[in-house]
Amino acid sequence: MEVTFALCSYPSLHGSPLTDAGLALLNPALALHPALVALDLGDCMLGDEAINLICGLLPPDGAKSGLKELTLSANPGITPKGWSRLAIAVAHSSQVRVLNLDYNPLGDHVAGMLAVAVASSRTLEVLDLEGTGLTNQSAQTLLDMVENYPTALRSLVLAENSISPELQQQICDLLSEGEEEEEEVAGGPGDTQERERAREPAAHQRGSSSWTGPSDPSSQMVLMTSGLGDSLLAETEM
């Protein structure tokens, strides 16, 4: 079992009663893994000590290979102190693309720290904050960040929070506009249309889409990531 886990580039322990002590036992294998790109530690009964270990898997400025996708969903034992340390690590990591923190009691204070991390990160594209106890206060902070500071962010999940649909829609629109502008700069409108047509058959084959339900503003924030792990794994294998 230990050998199989050590060789896996996308380990998932989601739902395991791992605790901080269990992660401490696994940490040496994780830290020495030559091609670890994604780690799912959702609902693993983790606390602040685990965050200290996880931050070690997020080396600053590409010092060595590090995680590109991290899932810490439903770990209510992590305190604001732990989340602040993670936010600092993410801000200085040049590789993290996807961060899933859904169903943690973060609140507006932690969301403010995460906004600073997003603004500092050069690679973070997806941030999942579904069901994390946010209000319009943190949504306004996130809106100001998206509107006034260029970031790599492409998807921000805010469903199941006390945030008005209008604010969610504004954030969604700004993120969409930023992605369209980047595509136009990269290849011009003609090339953008060609890329969109080229992506349609692939998306159809995968059976997934970047957005769900256009009728509900909050549902537009939900990213379907069914193929993301595979794409990151394929990149590592190359």
Buried b / exposed e across 28-49, counting CB within 10 Å, b at 16+? eebeebeebbbbbbbbbbbbbb
- Pick out the chain residues at pLDDT < 50: 1-7, 192, 194-238
pTM of structure: 0.73
Domain range for 160 is 18-180
**Per the domain annotation, does 156 fall within a domain?**
yes
Q: What CA–CA distance (Å, rounded) separates 149 from 215? A: 29
Instruction: Name residue, tokens 């604010």.
Output: 167
**Per the domain annotation, does 28 fall within a domain?**
yes
Cα 35 to Cα 65, 87, 93, 98, 214: the distances in Å are: 7, 23, 16, 17, 37
**Per the domain annotation, does 197 fall within a domain?**
no
pLDDT at position 177 is 86
Q: Which two tokens stand for residue 36?
A: 């670890």
Instruction: Name residue, tokens 């969610």.
Output: 168
Q: What CA–CA distance (Å, rounded) separates 129 from 102? A: 5
- CB distance 9 to 233 below 8 Å: yes
**Per the domain annotation, does 75 fall within a domain?**
yes
pLDDT at position 92 is 87
pLDDT at position 5 is 43
What is the CATH number for 47?
A: 3.80.10.10
pLDDT at position 166 is 96
Q: What CA–CA distance (Å, rounded) separates 109 from 119? A: 16
pLDDT at position 79 is 98
Cα 134 to Cα 105, 141, 154: the distances in Å are: 9, 11, 19
pLDDT at position 189 is 52
* Count of C-beta atoms within a 10 Å radius of residue 231: 12
**Per the domain annotation, does 237 fall within a domain?**
no
Q: Give me the number of domains the chain comprises.
A: 1
**Per the domain annotation, does 230 fall within a domain?**
no
**Per the domain annotation, does 200 fall within a domain?**
no
pLDDT tens readout for residues 195-224: 444 444 433 333 333 333 333 444 333 333
- Per the document, the length of the chain is 238
**Per the domain annotation, does 229 fall within a domain?**
no
